[in-house]
Structure 1
Amino acid sequence: MKIKLGASALLVSIALTTLTGCSMTDAKDSALPAAGTSNSEDAAAVAKKVSSEIYDLIGIKGKASNTGAGVSECSGKDPEKYFQIFHPWSFVPESADQLSGVMERLKEELPKHGWKVVEYGPDTSKNKNLSLTADNDKKKYSVSVVHRAKNNPPKLSLMVVSGCYQVPEGQKVERF
């Protein structure tokens, strides 16, 4: 269990680093885009909604994990006032062969829904998992999808990450 939690923490860290370095920016530098003003709970609800929209785009029957969203700091900003949301989840199809072609479909469908695919291809793991990263500048969200074809059972691993939110005046960031 400890190894699994450590691996999950590493995955979150890598995904946040990867996703926050993408083109989802308001400025000319690589800073996180401002996602607006919100409290942590409402921002987490938005992240779950974004995940739900991506779930619909997967377009096959299966089961999504029931993981909650989390809160992390915005690099270089006051951690009492600024935060970003991450929502890791996975999708296991009813039948493994249903995942065939799903990444290509996501690559085609995401841009039709306001997403820009910024990376697509095999990752650097020994399994050479097919991965996709896309940004939605309007929503101020980024998503990473990894097709883990050699897992038992095969699945998609997803990480949805927001831009940088600011809490309303007089409030502090709630962490969960």
Structure 2
Amino acid sequence: MNTKLGACALLSILALSTLTGCSMTDDMPTSPPSAGISTTDEAADQAEKISSELYDLIGLRGKATEPGPGISECAGKDPEKFFTVFHAWTFTPASPDQLKGVMERLKSDMPRDGWKIVEYGPDSSNNKNLTLTADHDAKKYSVKIAHFAKDTKPNLNLFVTSGCYQVPDGQRVE
């Protein structure tokens, strides 16, 4: 269990660092790119929608974990007015064999839906888990997907994260 939690934490850190240095901006930012103005509830709904679209892109029968999106601060910005949304979840297929080739297919299919693949290949772990990082510039979201092929139950871990939202005037981050 600790290994899985550590892997999820590492995936979270990697995804956030990827977003802050991704292609959504021209300069090396200290904070994620602007995602516009939104309430935290609306932004969380958007993160769930994007996760749902990614689930559909996976195109396999299986189970996804149910944790909802979370809210985090935007580095260097007022935490009462600015926030990012993240949504970490795991997909476990009905049959482990179904995941064979899924990462290659996602690498091929995601650009048709507006995703730009910014990194693809094995991670630095002993298992050399295949990872894919993609940005959706129009939606101001990034996703990091890791294929844990050698787990007892092979799965995909996804970490979806937004750019930096600002709450509407007169509101605070909830």
- Alignment of 1:20 with 2:20, yes or no, is yes
Tell whether 2:31 aligns with 1:29: no
Change in Cα spacing, 1:164 to 1:6, as seen in structure 2 (3 Å) is: same
Long gaps (5+) in structure 2: none
The CA deviation string for residues 50-96 of structure 1, in whole angstroms up to 9 with x for no partner, is 00001000011111111110001111111110000000001000000
CA RMSD, 1 decimal? 1.7
Cα distance, 1:14 vs structure 2: 3.5
Q: Assess, with a 3 A threshold, how the Cα gap between structure 1 residues 6 and 148 changes in structure 2: closer, same or farther.
A: closer
Runs of 4+ more than 3 Å apart: 3-6, 8-11
Corresponding residue for residue 58 of structure 2: 58
Q: What fraction of aligned residue pairs are identical, expressed as a percent?
A: 60
Q: Secondary structure at the match of 1:110?
A: helix
| 1:61-80 matched pairs, under 5 angstroms | 61-80=61-80
Q: SS at 1:63's partner residue? A: strand
Q: What are the Cα deviations for residues 129-152 of structure 1, in whole angstroms up to 9, with x where unaligned?
A: 000000000000000000000111
CA distance in 1, matches of 2:105, 2:9: 29
Is contact 1:19–1:144 with CA below 8 Å preserved after alignment?
no
CA separation of 1:106/1:6 partners in 2, compared to 1, >3 Å: closer, same or farther?
Answer: closer
Count of residue pairs the alignment pairs up: 172
| 1:113-166 Cα shifts (integer Å, max 9, x gaps) | 000000000011111000000000000000000000011100000000000000
CA distance in 1, matches of 2:46, 2:132: 21
Q: Normalising by structure 1, what TM-score?
A: 0.92
Structure 2 CA distance for aligned equivalents of residues 64 and 142 of structure 1? 19
1:165 paired to 2:165: yes
In structure 2, the residue matched to 1:126 is 126
Matches within 5 A, 1:127-146: 127-146=127-146
Report the CA distance between 1:24 and its aligned residue: 2.0
Report the 3-state secondary structure (helix = DSSP H, G, I; strand = E; otherwise coil) of the residue aligned with 1:121: strand
Q: CA deviation at 1:18?
A: 2.8
1:115 is matched with which residue? Answer: 115
SS of equivalent residue, structure 1 residue 86:
strand
Q: 2:137 corresponds to which letter in structure 1? A: D
> TM-score, length-normalised on structure 2?
0.93
